[in-house]
Chain A
Amino acid sequence: EAQVTQNPRYLITVTGKKLTVTCSQNMNHEYMSWYRQDPGLGLRQIYYSMNVEVTDKGDVPEGYKVSRKEKRNFPLILESPSPNQTSLYFCASRGYGGSYNEQFFGPGTRLTVL
């Protein structure tokens, strides 16, 4: 089954404790992105990647890092999480040249930073 997976689905942590949210896709997509969803703000792009070793900042990159060492994986790293990073996070992917620029979303990761 074609899908984007994220782990963990739920995470409660404390300020300053480094964490990684993994994202993996099995569709051989070139493009991958991370979004955060906050009430009243919709989804905002954090980082995106056009291919292996090619990443760039989205609209809200502060406090986040990403890496793209393999085509299928695109982890999101919070080196020193803060309470304002409490949010719902989505990973998404799409193939180059795919119709309509359609992105496929993972199931989301609910992060709480205390």
Chain B
Amino acid sequence: AQTVTQSQPEMSVQEAETVTLSCTYDTSESDYYLFWYKQPPSRQMILVIRQEAYKQQNATENRFSVNFQKAAKSFSLKISDSQLGDAAMYFCASSPGGATNKLIFGTGTLLAVQP
């Protein structure tokens, strides 16, 4: 069974600084996908970034990037130049490849951004 672990329940960062959120996962699948979702106070689930396991290159979306370490089963999210609007709950998630609707979430990291 797949599991996703986020060991940091809360994090804080100063505006304009960089912060890294940790995520580890466990899976027996050879083909899978990894995601970071953002949940602001509105509660909407917003996809931040995604990574295919077979791609070695780390995904990047503007100020958001990941450090994907496949052997270590680690998938951390780096937010550069943090903004007040980045304050939210962040969830790491994993999905097997192929015809499946499984999506396994971590317990989340609440990020506060200090002005």
CA distance A96 to B100 in the complex (A): 9
Nearest A residue to B95 by beta-carbon distance?
Answer: A101
Query: A36-49: contact bitstring with B at CB < 8 Å (1 yes, 0 no)?
Result: 00001111110011
Collect the chain A residues with CB atoms within 8 Å of residue B9's CB.
Answer: 40
Q: How many residues of B contact A (CB 8 A)?
A: 27
Does chain A have a CB within 8 A of B52? yes
Task: Find out whether the CB atom of A42 lies under 8 angstroms from the CB atom of B47.
Answer: no
Known A-B contacts A31-B101, A88-B43; A40 and B33 likewise in contact (beta carbons under 8 Å): no
Collect the chain A residues with CB atoms within 8 Å of residue B6's CB.
Answer: 42
Chain A interface main SS type: strand
Collect the chain B residues with CB atoms within 8 Å of residue A40's CB.
Answer: 9, 107
CA distance A92 to B104 in the complex (A): 13
Query: A54-70: contact bitstring with B at CB < 8 Å (1 yes, 0 no)?
Result: 00000000000000000
Task: Find out whether the CB atom of A42 lies under 8 angstroms from the CB atom of B105.
Answer: yes
- Shortest Cβ distance from residue A20 to the other chain B in the assembled complex, whole angstroms: 21
Query: B88-109: contact bitstring with A at CB < 8 Å (1 yes, 0 no)?
Result: 0001010111011111111110
Collect the chain B residues with CB atoms within 8 Å of residue A31's CB.
Answer: 101
Nearest B residue to A44 by beta-carbon distance?
Answer: B105
Task: Find out whether the CB atom of B105 lies under 8 angstroms from the CB atom of A43.
Answer: yes
CA distance A92 to B45 in the complex (A): 10
Does chain A have a CB within 8 A of B75? no
Nearest B residue to A94 by beta-carbon distance?
Answer: B101
Contact residue among A41, A42, A102, A107 (Cβ-Cβ distance under 8 Å from B35): A102
Task: Find out whether the CB atom of B45 lies under 8 angstroms from the CB atom of A102.
Answer: no
